[in-house]
A and B are shown apart, each in its own frame.
Chain A
Amino acid sequence: GAGVSQTPSNKVTEKGKYVELRCDPISGHTALYWYRQSLGQGPEFLIYFQGTGAADDSGLPNDRFFAVRPEGSVSTLKIQRTERGDSAVYLCASSFQGGVPGELFFGEGSRLTVL
């Protein structure tokens, strides 16, 4: 597909469980971002990758959250010991060098519900 692909689209889990969310960015986009959108709120920045490395992870709320992008393409957001407050839509976005500043191409998100 031409857009950012995120799987799963919906994930229901129990408190304390481990969760992985996957993002497949647009081909050729070197930058990849994770944002979190809680109900009724705007997206909040979590982490930014340029290539394989995390250029800025200052938005990760605590050490239960971790993200990787081992080959500079697909990324996985990992959440350990999930809590009810982690329930949100996790949005992945990508962008390319030389594009319109501020233009992030978002996926449809992974909706996480922690019971």
Chain B
Amino acid sequence: QKEVEQDPGPLSVPEGAIVSLNCTYSNSAFQYFMWYRQYSRKGPELLMYTYSSGNKEDGRFTAQVDKSSKYISLFIRDSQPSDSATYLCAMDSRAGSYQLTFGKGTKLSVIP
């Protein structure tokens, strides 16, 4: 079993839909959780960072962490075609995160 599990999709939704992306993890040492977005043939870019259980909101994006269930989610409200990308969850056990453990990524397509 990999340390981080993420459904690779693909996931296709109509414009304006609410999108839910999820990861589960097995390593209880993970304390810091990130969501990265990766457009085709580009490097990943950080979307959200959280370190505690609960919700964190940034515009149309909400990151949710449930450490007791070892489960994290990213919600995208009012999805746009420009949100079409691969979304990668990432985790680390240290505060100065650098050796990130990534999920496989979920490929999202938002259809106009």
A residues engaging B (CB < 8 A)?
4, 31, 33, 40-45, 48, 56, 58-59, 91, 93, 95, 100-109
Contact = CB atoms under 8 A, between A and B. Distances in A.
B34 interface: yes
A93 B34 contact: no
B90 A102 contact: yes
Nearest to A92: B43
A40 B102 CA distance: 12
Ranked nearest first, the 4 interchain pairs of A and B with the lowest CB-CB distance are A106-B43, A42-B102, A102-B97, A102-B34
B43 A59 contact: no
Interface in B64-112: 88, 90, 92, 95-105
A59 B102 contact: no
Contact of B43 (A44, A48, A102, A107): A107
B98 A103 contact: no
14 contacts: A42-B88, A42-B105, A43-B88, A43-B100, A56-B99, A58-B99, A91-B44, A95-B98, A101-B32, A102-B49, A104-B44, A105-B45, A106-B43, A106-B45
A95 B98 CA distance: 9
A50 B103 CA distance: 25
Given A33-B98, A48-B98, 14 more contacts: A31-B98, A40-B8, A40-B104, A42-B102, A42-B104, A42-B105, A45-B100, A91-B43, A101-B97, A102-B100, A104-B98, A104-B100, A106-B45, A107-B43
